[in-house]
């Protein structure tokens, strides 16, 4: 399905005018991250605590896309990432994978990484250990059945972690993946707001949170059309955790 001509394009152009000045005045001073943990180094990450940053060598950053796959917005984001040669991590909900297995397979075949994002997007802190185990296991099974990969990353819905969640991640050998830049695109605050938030807060090692599922994500797509080339122009390069 092709992007609609465009509401996204029109929104994107307007937002670029709104924030474009930032692209010529240099890299903005980042805001304090919501959880200032030290940036890990090395090829692997610990399983016993959430990961908020990637290795910051050579201005590496990570883009994560949550709550899909979605038949409307996942293909749009995939085309955008392909245009700029960017690799991202898609945190997928199991029931969405089961409903759209071809999309999960397409994401994997395009070279992107898939993370487990539970079966139903449940708040795991409220669940007993047995239910936590079921949420993670069913999602991993669905992802493997659709895309042929076993997720080695897990993102907790709402960023809600508990000892039971961490323990289950360790048992399934999945790195608990959080984020350090949250533009709140899920709330649809406007394209310029999403783009400005990412520009203000991204720094070497940042993990950026965006969404391709859970509702109308046209603002997210339009904002990514602005910030991805801007970040590349600033010397950042994208990697997966």
Our count of domains for the chain comes to 1
- Among residues 100, 112, 121, 211, which one is catalytic? 211
Q: What's the pLDDT at 39?
A: 37
Is residue 173 a part of any domain in this protein? yes
Is residue 128 a part of any domain in this protein? yes
pTM for this prediction: 0.83
Q: Verify whether residue 82 is a known catalytic residue.
A: no
pLDDT (tens digit per residue) in 108-159: 999 999 999 999 999 999 999 999 999 999 999 999 999 999 999 999 999 9
pLDDT (tens digit per residue) in 169-191: 999 999 999 999 999 999 999 99
C-alpha distance from residue 192 to each of 18, 149, 201, 226 (Å): 6, 36, 14, 9
Q: Verify whether residue 66 is a known catalytic residue.
A: yes
Is residue 145 a part of any domain in this protein? yes
Q: Which residue range is the domain that position 160 belongs to? A: 50-238
Domain at 212, CATH number = 3.20.20.370
- Among residues 3, 66, 70, 178, which one is catalytic? 66
Is residue 28 a part of any domain in this protein? no
Is residue 21 a part of any domain in this protein? no
pLDDT (tens digit per residue) in 21-76: 333 222 232 333 333 333 343 347 888 899 999 987 789 999 999 999 999 999 99
Is residue 98 a part of any domain in this protein? yes
């Amino acid at each position: 399905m092709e992007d609609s001509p465009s509401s996204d394009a029109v929104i994107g152009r307007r937002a670029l005018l709104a924030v474009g000045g930032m692209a010529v005045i240099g890299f903005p001073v980042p805001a304090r991250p919501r959880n200032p943990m030290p940036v890990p180094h090395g090829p692997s990450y610990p399983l016993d605590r959430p990961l908020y940053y990637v290795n910051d060598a050579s201005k590496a950053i990570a883009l994560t896309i949550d709550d899909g796959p979605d038949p409307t917005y996942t293909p749009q984001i995939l085309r955008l990432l392909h245009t700029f040669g960017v690799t991202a991590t898609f945190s997928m909900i199991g029931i969405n994978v089961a409903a759209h297995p071809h999309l999960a397979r397409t994401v994997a075949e395009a070279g992107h990484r898939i993370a487990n994002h539970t079966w139903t997007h449940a708040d795991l802190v409220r669940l007993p250990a047995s239910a936590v185990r079921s949420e993670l296991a069913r999602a991993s099974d669905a992802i493997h059945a659709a895309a042929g990969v076993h997720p080695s990353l897990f993102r907790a819905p709402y960023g809600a972690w508990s000892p039971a969640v961490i323990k289950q991640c360790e048992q399934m050998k999945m790195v608990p993946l959080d984020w350090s830049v949250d533009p709140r695109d899920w709330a649809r605050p406007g394209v310029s707001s999403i783009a400005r938030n990412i520009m203000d807060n991204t720094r070497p090692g940042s993990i950026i949170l965006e969404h391709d599922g859970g509702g109308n994500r046209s603002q997210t797509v339009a904002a990514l059309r602005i910030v991805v080339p801007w970040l590349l122009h600033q010397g950042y390069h994208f990697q997966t955790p």
